[in-house]
Amino acid sequence: MAIVDPRTGQPLSSPETSGSGNQDTGASAEQVIVDVTLENFQQVVLEGSMQRPVVLQSWASWCEPCKNLKPVLEKLAKEYGGAFVLARLDIEAYPQIASQLGIRSVPDVKLIAQGQLYDQFQGALPESQVREWLGKYLEAPEGASQSPEEMAEAALADGDTATAQAIYQELIQQYPEHYDYQIDLAGVLVAADQVDDAKQLLDSLPPEHREAPKARGVRARIAFGEEAPTQAEIDALGERNDSEANFQRAMRQIADGRYEDGLEALLALLKTDRAYGDDAARKTLLRVFDALGADHPLTVTYRRRLFALLY
């Protein structure tokens, strides 16, 4: 799809053929965020996209999701240091441009390069997804700051559940319809031994999200946590290397969300003692596969290894 001049309706031609090749784009390396008007649309978006990509953000003052997306795009525009120009279009002030671009709802974000629409998305995506979207076309700058999701994961890995919880709670306020954040928060609550709160949060999700693989994974952690021995009981096993001890260790690993370690231990037990606990290792492997979901990389890998072992 070619991008057209909202005043003429004509597709943009290359600066070389239009005679404007030496014209300033209106956005220097320092000026990476520009408000679009009828007067500068040709210069900033159309001709500017011949020099470097333009991310065109359409918004409106009444649009709450737009307010959530705005600081994310501004942060990334500054972080990328001029690799793209963020052009902001107020569709209420300039409905002619919005109509010409076929914008039906906001927020609407388009990536324009060489006068062509390369990609677009609608809605207030979380920062991690916007980064992923940009990363398909532009190389991320060195030393890029962590996304909130990455900071939460790092805090959780360090055992700082309070920080991880605070980050996800803020993300939920910003993106109330991005239910993965609520599932992530439930996982943090499980790690913080607030299991009842985690169950209540999962139960409050819409049905399609309540039964999503990610939510089932958290529920599985809760179930395994209720079945698994405590860490003190694991420590009391000492150096025991019998089937019972190894199964109990695997259950604790799964309950702690260390799925790969737990799956590996169960597979090893299956190799050495298939009959243990009425085939408990195989049955537990299948439970973990169901919790993670059929498309999860660990499910794919360990289901294949289980099949090879059994057949």
Do 60 and 19 meet the contact criterion of CB atoms below 8 Å apart? Answer: no
219 is catalytic: no
Instruction: Give the residue from 5, 82, 10, 2 showing the smallest Cα distance to 39.
Output: 5
Q: Which two tokens mark 192?
A: 């913080």
- Catalytic position from the list 44, 56, 66, 85: 66
Nearest CA among 236, 228, 302, 235 for reference residue 271: 302
Single out the catalytic residue among 36, 63, 73, 98. Answer: 63
- Across the chain, the runs of DSSP E, i.e. the strands, are 33-35, 54-59, 85-90, 108-113, 116-122
Q: Which two tokens stand for residue 125?
A: 């995506």
Q: Which of 130, 121, 124 is nearest to 149 (CA)?
A: 130
In degrees and rounded to multiples of 5, residue 253 shows phi and psi of -60, -45
For the question of residue 193 being annotated catalytic, the response is: no
Residues designated as active site = 63, 66
